[in-house]
Amino acid sequence: GRRGEFDSQGAANVAVVRQNGVYRAWYSGLYREPGSEWPRSGAIPYVRVGYAESVDGIHFKKKSLGLSSFRKNDNTNLVAGLPATPIYRPIVPTGMHIDSADPDPARRYKFLTWTGGRPVRKRADAAEEVDEQTWTLWTSPDGLRWREASRGGIQYPGGMPSSFSPQSMFHDPDESDPARKYKAYGFVGLNNDRRGAGYGYSPDAIDWIADPANPIFDSWARATPVVRNGKVQQIHDVVVWKHHQYYMALYQYQRSATDMTIELAMSRDGENFTYIQSGSEVVHRGAAGEWDSDEIAPSVPLVDEDEIKMYYSGYRFSETDLIEGERACGLATLRLDGYTHLTLEDGQEQGSATTILVDRGSATELFINASCADGSRIEVELIESESDGVLPGFSREECTPITTDSLGHRVGWGNRRLADVRNASFRIRFHLTSGGTSPELYSFGFGQAADK
């Protein structure tokens, strides 16, 4: 934005969806009095929701949300009706969620805000002052007209952290526990020297409970000790979303005040996460001097047909002041299911990987997402569930080799397909052979004959 506007210091925490051919983006607009510093009382940046649209996912035009006007010399509302005080500082998370499961059309769009810091007030029935911290749900029928939902909040049965900011939220259709149908993830302030990432759950997205096991993401899980007074070597931010049967996570790993990268984790239950190739950046920072050279932060990706769009926040610090700098939003892209892949170890010409036991259900076809080039290939065989023996007719030697690049190779063994397998369950073994380069195996899945 132009000087003095609500997003004049930049845009961050972008959430993008595509509807009817239009890319819709909600973001945090940042404004701070020039020369002020982040921690000082009265100099906390203003954070307010911004909105923009695009026809190509790259060039966005801002549009009004019809919210209260911004005046740079007061603590103006983040959205209409939110009390303005210098203590309560709402943060807009990246997890604006379109909730198709909500039967009420007026609540179809949702996001959470939180009261930043640990505001202190005196309860009417208590002689002492107590710390309080809340989450607030905002709902909308169209993503443009927002209102505060019925009063709820968040409970901390494991003890209140110094802060807990939700950064992603979604309805989980596969969750069997009604109390955990809605899930939210974000950063947890553990003390003045350390952050982690936590998880909260709710039956209705209004009343939340912070998991007593928080933080579920923590630097100790990375076997890296916390360096006191430096706020380094810690997990800083995290977003989580549902991708088929998996819970995927992009987390920001902080090694120093100016060294933060986006890395990958996954889970099968939404509570116990595995780090995938720790130390590997999913989205690489820009070269020295570029707008995103110093720090990048994640958002929930957008699966857009055969491509994954990774919208993210980038930051470049001032050469003279770590508080000053530029913040903006950028785009990186991946192939479908391209968050990570299997490849041969360096120097190896061949290798194999075997899945756990799988149940094919009613599927008649096996598809794999893989890239083979320079003479490399992948062959597939099916393994007995009770032994290590190969199912007759479905060996590596009988498999039609995969030698090209495709998101949906259909696996065949001569004239046979998965439909010809009598066994309901089996394991799958992938054999990778190098040509000039190693093949890359991204994912596999099951489908029907008409699927691609």
Across 2-11, 191-200, 340-349, which has the greatest mean pLDDT?
A: 340-349
98's CB contacts (< 8 A; 6+ apart) are 17, 108, 109, 110, 143
DSSP letters spanning 167-216: EEEEE-TT---GGGSEEEEEEEEEETTEEEEEEEEESSSSEEEE-TT--S
Beta strands in 244-362 (DSSP E): 246-256, 259-267, 273-276, 295-297, 302-304, 307-317, 325-335, 350-354, 358-359
In sequence order, the β-bridge partners of residue 342 are: 441
Give the separation between CA 158 and CA 151, rounded to whole angstroms: 22
74: helix, strand or coil = coil
- Count CB atoms within 10 A of the CB of residue 54: 15
Q: What is the dihedral of CA 232, 235, 236, 239, to 10 degrees?
A: 170
Cβ atoms of 36 and 86 within 8 Å: the answer is no
Rg (CA), the chain: 24
Mean pLDDT of 238-266: 89
- Count CB atoms within 10 A of the CB of residue 368: 20
DSSP letters spanning 384-427: -SSSSPBPTT-STTTS--B-SEEEEEEP-BTTB-GGG---SEEE
What are the respective helix, strand and coil percentages of the chain, to the nearest 5? Answer: 5, 45, 50
378 vs 220 pLDDT, higher one: 378
- Structure-block tokens of residue 149: 């939902």
Phi first, then psi, for residue 59 (nearest 5°) are -100, 110
117 vs 383 pLDDT, higher one: 383
Cβ atoms of 365 and 400 within 8 Å: the answer is no
**With 80 as the cut, is the pLDDT of residue 320 above it?**
no
pLDDT per residue as tens digits for the range 173-207: 999 999 999 999 998 887 666 788 999 999 999 99
Look up residue 36 and give its amino acid.
S
Confidence of residue 114 (pLDDT cuts 50, 70, 90): confident
**With 60 as the cut, is the pLDDT of residue 11 above it?**
yes
- Count CB atoms within 10 A of the CB of residue 249: 25
Cβ atoms of 158 and 171 within 8 Å: the answer is no
How much is the pLDDT for 153? 87
Mean pLDDT of 77-91: 36
Mean pLDDT of 414-432: 94
How much is the pLDDT for 37? 55
220's CB contacts (< 8 A; 6+ apart) are 226
Give the separation between CA 205 and CA 183, rounded to whole angstroms: 8
Q: What mean pLDDT is reported for the chain?
A: 82
pLDDT per residue as tens digits for the range 33-80: 666 555 443 444 567 788 999 999 999 999 887 554 433 333 333 443
